[in-house]
Amino acid sequence: MFMRILLQFPQGLKQFALAESAKFEKEGHEVFLSATPCWGACDLALEEAKKTGAQKLVHYGHCKYHEVTEKGLEIEYRLYPIDADLQILKSSLEKINQYKKIGVVTTVSHIHQLDEMKKMLKAAGHEILTSKGSLAIMDGQILGCDASAASKLAPKVDAIVYVGGGEFHPLGIDASKPILAINPYANESYFLNKQIEEKRKKQLGMLIACSQAKRIGILVSIKSGQFSLKAAEAAKARLKELGKSPSILVTGEVDFDSLKDFNSFDAYITTACPRLTDDSERIGKPIINMAQLPALFSLIKESK
């Protein structure tokens, strides 16, 4: 049946958009491509679908983790598996020789290779454990906003191995055990504990700075999987009780230059993507996420 279809790709997969579009057009469908930046399954192109009259939205590269329904719109999630060269995993085994129990995590792009990763580690004499995260639906998968599949393993393993590109995903891991990042794209592997500890200290510093701030902006994103207005309103009410001057700022994509234009706030709280805390330099002000609110309220009370 002929359909109007909107295709949505995250930033790293937009290069494949035309090839995927051609497949649908060959079947007789009318295809639109979302050009809006996309960072995850929390970020569905619902407005574009509505405005183009799309009957179906195909979201590439992520699993569904948040139930979204839109009248008259079918939503399909399509994984886009990428085969990583796991030779670097084999050549990195000597770095974890001393550890018996190993926890393994990766991203959705390489989750189809998880069994192969486990097999290589088992062949080297390791006992392998995996876990499901709070938001990530597949065993061994971590998200930028949910690395709990790794953190849950920390008490049970001697070390954690992450296989994937870059540091964005593994830097979200909160664990006291050695964390080996294996990057098949850069053909390198190294322990990330120093970087994770530096991030933790930075977050603590921003938490303290937020507790001392008077005017606090609470960020609310209208993105499908990030909208948390009730949480923002609850935070605003509590901050008022504690003598602060909070305001709720509503946005789609968080634009750092636009935030700077306010020139009014001493600090920010994000109820949207929790990893916005990584971008404090771009905002120019301290920023914390919802998970840090209990600690923030405690610090403010203690300072009175």
Mean pLDDT across 53-69? 91
Same domain, 96 and 67: no
CA distance readout (Å), 228 to 32, 136, 221, 241: 29, 19, 7, 20
- Residue 258: give the domain boundaries: 200-303
CA distance 142 to 134: 9
For 133, the 3-state DSSP assignment is coil
pLDDT in tens, 65-78: 778 888 899 999 99
CA distance 190 to 180: 6
Same domain, 127 and 209: no
Please check the confidence at residue 176 and state whether its pLDDT lies above 90.
Answer: no
pLDDT in tens, 221-253: 999 899 999 999 999 999 999 999 999 999 998
Same domain, 178 and 231: no
Please check the confidence at residue 142 and state whether its pLDDT lies above 90.
Answer: yes
Return the bridge partners of 73, or none. 70
Q: Higher model confidence: residue 303 or residue 100?
A: 100
Same domain, 60 and 146: no
Same domain, 125 and 217: no
What percentage of the chain exceeds 90 in pLDDT? 86
Domain containing 152 — which CATH number? Answer: 3.40.50.11850
Please check the confidence at residue 304 and state whether its pLDDT lies above 80.
Answer: no
Same domain, 207 and 153: no
Single-letter amino acid, residue 223: K
Average pLDDT of the chain to the nearest whole number: 95
Mean pLDDT across 84-109? 96
CA distance 304 to 301: 5
In which band, very low, low, confident or very high, does the pLDDT at 263 lie, cut at 50, 70 and 90? confident
Query: Which residues are CB-neighbours of 273 under 8 A, at least 6 positions away?
Result: 39, 40, 42, 144, 145, 221, 226, 254
Going by C-alpha positions, the residue among 85, 84, 66 that lies closest to residue 75 is: 66
Same domain, 180 and 215: no
Q: Pick from 142, 167, 191: which residue ends a domain?
A: 191
Same domain, 71 and 100: no
Mean pLDDT across 154-172? 95
Same domain, 159 and 101: yes
Please check the confidence at residue 14 and state whether its pLDDT lies above 90.
Answer: yes
Domain containing 27 — which CATH number? Answer: 3.40.50.11840
Q: Pick from 33, 55, 78: which residue ends a domain?
A: 78
Q: Pick from 159, 191, 223: which residue ends a domain?
A: 191
10 Å CB burial of residue 93 (0-12, 13-18, 19+) is: middle
Q: In this predicted structure, what is the pLDDT of residue 137?
A: 85
Same domain, 99 and 180: yes
What pTM value is reported for the model? 0.90
Instruction: Could you list the beta-strand ranges (E) of the chain.
Output: 4-8, 30-33, 56-60, 74-78, 101-106, 127-129, 159-163, 179-183, 188-191, 215-221, 245-251, 267-270, 287-289
Same domain, 206 and 263: yes
In which band, very low, low, confident or very high, does the pLDDT at 175 lie, cut at 50, 70 and 90? confident
How many domains is the chain built from? 3
Domain containing 234 — which CATH number? Answer: 3.40.50.11860
Same domain, 294 and 209: yes
